[in-house]
C-alpha cells in the first residue's frame, strides 16, 4: 500500500513510519527541511518536500491512504499558530487528499478535543467536542476533527477516521518525559494536587498498532479512543516513567487552585510585557495535571479489532531499555 504521512519526523509519525515500512508498505512523508529528510530516510520512508500550507494533490500522487499526525501541540505560542497548523493545515491536507484520489484519511486526534477544563469520567466517543474551549490546542483540535469527519464521503470513494490517543508515552518521546526529567534534575518538579487525578494512557506501540488496523478497518466518519488497559493516577504513571529513566520524583506538591492562578498570571505577564521564552506554567499545563481523564475504549475493540498488544508494565520495561541504550 502507498501511504502518505505527516509529522513523520515527530514521535507518533516517526514510530508509524518505521512500523509501516517494516510491514512492506511504501511510505512517503511530508518534510520541511534537510534535517527532516534525513530522519525520514533513516526510518525507510521517502521524504516529500512540502508543508501543511503548501501541500497539494501532486505531493500525494498515487497514495491510497493519508495518515495525518502533524499538529501544533506546544503549550505556549501565538493563537494563530494553533489555528494555522491544526485547523488550516488539516483542511489543506483533506483538500489535497481528495484531489489526489486518496481513498482513506486517518486523522490522529486527541481526547483534548473534548476538554474545556472539566474532568472526564469514563467518557466514550459520544461526548461532545469542545469547540468553545478556552485552551487553543483543545478548540483547534476539536475543529480539525470536525473537518475530518464532515469530509467523510464513502459514496465518493473518500473515507475518513479519527483516532484519539490519550497521554502518549514510550520509547522515542522527545517532549513529555524529557521535560519531566529536566525539571526533576533541576529541582523544579512539583505535583499538582499530589498527582491524584486518574488518567487513561496510550503506549506508542499500541497507537501504531491501531493506525495499522485503521488502514482497512473501522467505520467511515467515526472517532475512536485508542487506550492502554486500565487507568492509573498521574502520580503512578509519571513516577514509573521517570523511574524507567533512573530518576525518582519528589513529593513536593501545590494545590490545583494555586496552579491555575499561577498559570493564568504567568500567561498575562508574558503576553502583557512580550516576554521571551515560555512561562514557567501555563493555564493548559496546570489544567492537564489536575483534571481526571478516564475514557472507554470498547468502540475501537468492536470496530477496529483493537486490543492493546503491549501492557503498561511491558511498555515501561521497553522504555527503560530504550533509555539505557
Q: Tell me the average pLDDT of the chain.
A: 97
pLDDT of 165:
98
Q: Give the up-direction half-sphere exposure of residue 321: CA atoms within 13 A in the CB hemisphere.
A: 6
Residue 203 bears catalytic tag: no
pTM over 0.95: yes
Alpha helices, H only, 72-160: 79-82, 89-100, 136-150
Angstrom distance (rounded) from CA 263 to CA 281: 5
- What are 189-225's pLDDT values in tens digits? 999 999 999 999 999 999 999 999 999 999 999 999 9
pLDDT of 40:
98
Query: Could you tell me the CA-to-CA distances from 52 to 6, 28, 33, 174, 307 in Å, in that order?
Result: 8, 15, 13, 22, 32
Q: Would the pLDDT of 312 be above 90?
A: yes
- What are 286-308's pLDDT values in tens digits? 999 999 999 999 999 999 999 99
Q: 38 Cβ partners below 8 Å, 6+ apart? A: none
Q: What is the dihedral of CA 86, 286, 239, 255, to 10 degrees?
A: -170
pLDDT of 175:
87
Superfamily of domain covering 2-173+199-230+295-314 = NAD(P)-binding Rossmann-like Domain (3.40.50.720)
pLDDT of 75:
79
Q: 24 Cβ partners below 8 Å, 6+ apart? A: none
Residue 201 bridge partners (DSSP) = none
Q: Would the pLDDT of 316 be above 90?
A: yes
Q: Kindly tell me the sign of the dihedral angle through the C-alpha atoms of 85, 86, 90, 92.
A: negative
- The helix/strand/coil state of 28 is strand
Average confidence (pLDDT) over 80-108: 97
Cell digits of residue 119:
474532568
Q: Residue 66: is it exposed, middle or buried by C-beta count within 10 angstroms (0-12/13-18/19+)?
A: buried
Angstrom distance (rounded) from CA 40 to CA 17: 8
Q: Would the pLDDT of 76 be above 90?
A: no
Nearest-5° Cα angle at 181, 175 to 182: 85
Q: Using 50, 70 and 90 to split pLDDT, how confident is the model at 78?
A: confident
Cell digits of residue 42:
533513516
- What are 166-190's pLDDT values in tens digits? 999 999 998 899 999 999 999 999 9
Q: How many residues does the chain have?
A: 325
Q: Using 50, 70 and 90 to split pLDDT, how confident is the model at 88?
A: very high
Annotated catalytic residue: which of 28, 135, 137, 224? 137
Angstrom distance (rounded) from CA 110 to CA 147: 14
- What are 231-270's pLDDT values in tens digits? 999 999 999 999 999 999 999 999 999 999 999 999 999 9
β-pairing, 232-233 vs 198-199, is: antiparallel
- The helix/strand/coil state of 123 is strand
- The helix/strand/coil state of 249 is coil
Amino acid at each position: 500500500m502507498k501511504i502518505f504521512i505527516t509529522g513523520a519526523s515527530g514521535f507518533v509519525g516517526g514510530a508509524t513510519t518505521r512500523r509501516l515500512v517494516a510491514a512492506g508498505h511504501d511510505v512517503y512523508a511530508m518534510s520541511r527541511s534537510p534535517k527532516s529528510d534525513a530522519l525520514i530516510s533513516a526510518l525507510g520512508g521517502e521524504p516529500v518536500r512540502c508543508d501543511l500550507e503548501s501541500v497539494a494533490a501532486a505531493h500525494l500522487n498515487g497514495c491510497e491512504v493519508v495518515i495525518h499526525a502533524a499538529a501544533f501541540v506546544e503549550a505556549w505560542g501565538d493563537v494563530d499558530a494553533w489555528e494555522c497548523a491544526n485547523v488550516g493545515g488539516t483542511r489543506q491536507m483533506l483538500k489535497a487528499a481528495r484531489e489526489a484520489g486518496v481513498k482513506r484519511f486517518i486523522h490522529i486526534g486527541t481526547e483534548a478535543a473534548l476538554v474545556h477544563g472539566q474532568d472526564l469520567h469514563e467518557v466514550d466517543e459520544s461526548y461532545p467536542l469542545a469547540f468553545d474551549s478556552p485552551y487553543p490546542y483543545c478548540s483547534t483540535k476539536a475543529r480539525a476533527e470536525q473537518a475530518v469527519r464532515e469530509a467523510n464521503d464513502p459514496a465518493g470513494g473518500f473515507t475518513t477516521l479519527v483516532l484519539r490517543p490519550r497521554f502518549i508515552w514510550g520509547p522515542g518521546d522527545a517532549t513529555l518525559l524529557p521535560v519531566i526529567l529536566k525539571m526533576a534534575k533541576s529541582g523544579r518538579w512539583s505535583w499538582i494536587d499530589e498527582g491524584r487525578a486518574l488518567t487513561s494512557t496510550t503506549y506508542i506501540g499500541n497507537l501504531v498498532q491501531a493506525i495499522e488496523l485503521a488502514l482497512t478497518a473501522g467505520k467511515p466518519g467515526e472517532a475512536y479512543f485508542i487506550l492502554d488497559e486500565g487507568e492509573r493516577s498521574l502520580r503512578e504513571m509519571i513516577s514509573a516513567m521517570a523511574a524507567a529513566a533512573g530518576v525518582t520524583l519528589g513529593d513536593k506538591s501545590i494545590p490545583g487552585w494555586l496552579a491555575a492562578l499561577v498559570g493564568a498570571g504567568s500567561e498575562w505577564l508574558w503576553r502583557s510585557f512580550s516576554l521571551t521564552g515560555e512561562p514557567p506554567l501555563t493555564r493548559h499545563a496546570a489544567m492537564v495535571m489536575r483534571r481526571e481523564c478516564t475514557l472507554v475504549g470498547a468502540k475501537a475493540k468492536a470496530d477496529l479489532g483493537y486490543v492493546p498488544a503491549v501492557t503498561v508494565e511491558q511498555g515501561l520495561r521497553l522504555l527503560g531499555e530504550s533509555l539505557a541504550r
